Structure 1
Amino acid sequence: MGQQPIIRTGLLIGALALISYGIFQPVEADTRWLICLWLAAPLLGLAAWMVYPAPPAGLARTVYHVGLIILLGFGLLSLQLLRQQFVKADAIYNYVAVGPDGSTTSNVRPVLSSQRVLRGQIVDRNGVVLADSQSVNGFARRTYPVADRYDPAAFSNILGFFSTRYGQSGLESTYSAYLTGERGNELQRLQEQFVGGERRGNTLVLTINAELQARAAQALAGRAGSIVVLDPRTGAILAMVSQPGFDPRGLSFDPSAASWDAENARVSAYWAQIIADSAGQPLLNRPTQGLYPPGSTFKTLTAIAALAHPGVGQPDSITCPQEYRPDPTAPPVVNAVDNLASLTGDPTNLEKVYAYSCNTAFAQYATRLGPELFAETARQFDIFPPQRANSTYNEFTDLPTATSLLYVNPGFLNLPRGMADTGYGQGQLLVTPLQMAMMTAAIGNEGILMRPYLVQRITRPDGSLIVEQTPRPIRRATSALIAQTMRSNMAAVGSYGFGRVISDYVPGIAVGGKSGTAEHVPGAVPHAWFIALAPLDQPRYAVAVMVESGGEGSSVGARLAGEVLAAAFATE
Structure 2
Amino acid sequence: MNVRVLLRTSALLVAVGLIAVGIFQPIEAEGRWLLFLWAAAPLLGVAAWLTVPPTVPSLARNVGNIGLVILIGFALLSLQLLRQQVLYADTIYHHVAVAADGSTTSNVRPVINSQRILRGRMFDRKGTLLADRTSVQGFAHRTYPIAERYDPAIFGHVLGFFSTRYGQSGLESFYNTYLTGERGNELERLRERLVGGTPQGNDLTLTLNADLQAAASAALGGRVGSVVVLDPRTGAILALVSQPSFDPRGLTFNPAAASWEAENLRVSQYWQQLIADGSQQPLVNRATQGLYPPGSTFKSLTAIAALEYAAEGQPDTITCPNTFLPQPDAPPIVNAVPNLAGLTGDPSDLERVFAYSCNTAFAQYALRLGPERMSEIARRFDILPPQRGTTNYAGFRELPTAQSLLYVEPGFLNMPRALADTGYGQGQLLVTPLHMALLTAAIGNEGVMMQPYLVQRITRPDGGQITSHVPRPIRRTMDTNTARIMVQHMGAVAAYGFGSSVDNFTPAGVTVGGKSGTAEHVPGARPHAWFIALAPLEAPRFAVAVMVESGGEGSSVGAELAGRVLGAAFATE
**TM-based fold match above 0.5:** yes
Alignment gaps of 5+ in structure 2: 1-5, 28-82, 97-105
Q: Which residue of 1 aligns with 2:568?
A: 567
- Contact 1:234–1:450 (8 Å) recurs in 2: yes
Q: Which residue of 1 aligns with 2:314?
A: 314
User: Aligned-pair distance for 1:461?
Assistant: 0.2
Aligned-partner Cα distance in 2 for 1:536–1:94: 52
**Secondary structure, aligned partner of 2:278:** helix
2:258 alignment partner AA: A
Aligned-partner Cα distance in 2 for 1:95–1:391: 26
**Secondary structure, aligned partner of 1:267:** helix
Q: Which residue of 1 aligns with 2:280?
A: 280
**Secondary structure, aligned partner of 1:387:** coil
Q: Does 1:532 align with 2:533?
A: yes
Aligned-partner Cα distance in 2 for 1:91–1:345: 67
**Secondary structure, aligned partner of 1:568:** helix
User: Aligned-pair distance for 1:90?
Assistant: 6.5
- Please give the residue correspondences for 1:403-442 in structure 2 after superposition, counting only pairs within 5 Å: 403-442=403-442
Q: Which residue of 2 aligns with 1:200?
A: 200
Aligned-partner Cα distance in 2 for 1:168–1:91: 17
User: Aligned-pair distance for 1:76?
Assistant: 4.7
- Please give the residue correspondences for 1:50-199 in structure 2 after superposition, counting only pairs within 5 Å: 75-79=20-24, 110-199=110-199
Question: Which is worse superposed, 442-451 or 192-201?
Answer: 192-201
Measured on the aligned residues, the alpha-carbon RMSD in Å equals: 2.6
Aligned-partner Cα distance in 1 for 2:299–2:21: 51
**Secondary structure, aligned partner of 1:181:** coil
User: Aligned-pair distance for 1:195?
Assistant: 2.0
Q: Which residue of 2 aligns with 1:523?
A: 524
Question: Which is worse superposed, 111-120 or 254-263?
Answer: 111-120
**Secondary structure, aligned partner of 1:437:** helix
- Please give the residue correspondences for 1:259-278 in structure 2 after superposition, counting only pairs within 5 Å: 259-278=259-278
- Contact 1:157–1:170 (8 Å) recurs in 2: yes
Q: Which residue of 2 aligns with 1:225?
A: 225
Deviation string, structure 1 residues 426-471 (Cα, Å, up to 9, x no partner): 0000101000000000000000010000000000000000111110
Aligned-partner Cα distance in 2 for 1:445–1:277: 42
Q: Does 1:335 align with 2:335?
A: yes
Aligned-partner Cα distance in 2 for 1:463–1:233: 28
Alignment gaps of 5+ in structure 1: 1-59, 97-105
User: Aligned-pair distance for 1:309?
Assistant: 0.4
Question: Which is worse superposed, 272-281 or 429-438?
Answer: 272-281
Aligned-partner Cα distance in 2 for 1:403–1:191: 43
Aligned-partner Cα distance in 1 for 2:13–2:243: 58
Q: Which residue of 1 aligns with 2:60?
A: none
Q: Which residue of 2 aligns with 1:464?
A: 464
Deviation string, structure 1 residues 125-148 (Cα, Å, up to 9, x no partner): 111111111001110111111101
User: Aligned-pair distance for 1:568?
Assistant: 0.2
Is the alpha carbon distance of 1:408 and 1:191 closer, same or farther for their aligned partners in structure 2, counting shifts above 3 Å?
A: same
Q: Which residue of 1 aligns with 2:552?
A: 551
Q: Does 1:454 align with 2:459?
A: no
- Contact 1:108–1:165 (8 Å) recurs in 2: no
Aligned-partner Cα distance in 1 for 2:232–2:467: 22
Deviation string, structure 1 residues 273-292 (Cα, Å, up to 9, x no partner): 11112221111011111110
- Contact 1:108–1:166 (8 Å) recurs in 2: no
Q: Which residue of 2 aligns with 1:18?
A: none
**Secondary structure, aligned partner of 2:319:** coil
Q: Does 1:364 align with 2:364?
A: yes
1:307 alignment partner AA: L
- Contact 1:230–1:236 (8 Å) recurs in 2: yes
User: Aligned-pair distance for 1:70?
Assistant: 9.2
Aligned-partner Cα distance in 1 for 2:339–2:108: 61
Deviation string, structure 1 residues 341-386 (Cα, Å, up to 9, x no partner): 1100111000000000000000110111111110000000010011
Deviation string, structure 1 residues 11-48 (Cα, Å, up to 9, x no partner): xxxxxxxxxxxxxxxxxxxxxxxxxxxxxxxxxxxxxx
Q: Please give the TM-score of this superposition, normalised by the length of structure 1.
A: 0.84
2:343 alignment partner AA: L
Aligned-partner Cα distance in 2 for 1:251–1:199: 22
User: Aligned-pair distance for 1:387?
Assistant: 2.6
**Secondary structure, aligned partner of 2:249:** helix
**Secondary structure, aligned partner of 1:462:** coil
Deviation string, structure 1 residues 511-570 (Cα, Å, up to 9, x no partner): 000000000111111000000000000000000000000000000000000000000000
Q: Please give the TM-score of this superposition, normalised by the length of structure 2.
A: 0.83
**Secondary structure, aligned partner of 1:404:** coil
Question: Which is worse superposed, 186-195 or 426-435?
Answer: 186-195
Aligned-partner Cα distance in 2 for 1:174–1:91: 19
**Secondary structure, aligned partner of 2:141:** strand
- Contact 1:381–1:439 (8 Å) recurs in 2: yes
User: Aligned-pair distance for 1:91?
Assistant: 9.2
**Secondary structure, aligned partner of 1:234:** coil
Aligned-partner Cα distance in 1 for 2:155–2:283: 12
**Secondary structure, aligned partner of 2:116:** coil
Aligned-partner Cα distance in 2 for 1:107–1:566: 51
User: Aligned-pair distance for 1:504?
Assistant: 1.3
Is the alpha carbon distance of 1:359 and 1:141 closer, same or farther for their aligned partners in structure 2, counting shifts above 3 Å?
A: same
- Contact 1:389–1:403 (8 Å) recurs in 2: no
Q: Which residue of 1 aligns with 2:512?
A: 511
User: Aligned-pair distance for 1:500?
Assistant: 0.5
Aligned-partner Cα distance in 2 for 1:78–1:400: 33
1:179 alignment partner AA: L
Aligned-partner Cα distance in 1 for 2:383–2:556: 27
Is the alpha carbon distance of 1:217 and 1:70 closer, same or farther for their aligned partners in structure 2, counting shifts above 3 Å?
A: farther
Percentage of matched positions with identical amino acids = 68
The number of residues matched between the two structures is 502
- Please give the residue correspondences for 1:213-252 in structure 2 after superposition, counting only pairs within 5 Å: 213-252=213-252
Q: Which residue of 2 aligns with 1:385?
A: 385
User: Aligned-pair distance for 1:191?
Assistant: 1.4
Is the alpha carbon distance of 1:114 and 1:368 closer, same or farther for their aligned partners in structure 2, counting shifts above 3 Å?
A: same
- Contact 1:108–1:164 (8 Å) recurs in 2: no
Q: Which residue of 2 aligns with 1:324?
A: 324
Q: Which residue of 2 aligns with 1:13?
A: none
Q: Which residue of 1 aligns with 2:37?
A: none
**Secondary structure, aligned partner of 1:239:** strand
Q: Which residue of 1 aligns with 2:36?
A: none
Is the alpha carbon distance of 1:88 and 1:443 closer, same or farther for their aligned partners in structure 2, counting shifts above 3 Å?
A: farther
Is the alpha carbon distance of 1:70 and 1:262 closer, same or farther for their aligned partners in structure 2, counting shifts above 3 Å?
A: same
Aligned-partner Cα distance in 2 for 1:492–1:443: 15
Is the alpha carbon distance of 1:363 and 1:388 closer, same or farther for their aligned partners in structure 2, counting shifts above 3 Å?
A: farther
Deviation string, structure 1 residues 405-442 (Cα, Å, up to 9, x no partner): 00000000001111011000000001010000000000
Aligned-partner Cα distance in 1 for 2:444–2:110: 42
Aligned-partner Cα distance in 2 for 1:298–1:72: 57
- Contact 1:107–1:167 (8 Å) recurs in 2: no
Q: Which residue of 1 aligns with 2:72?
A: none
Is the alpha carbon distance of 1:192 and 1:502 closer, same or farther for their aligned partners in structure 2, counting shifts above 3 Å?
A: same
2:234 alignment partner AA: T
1:527 alignment partner AA: H
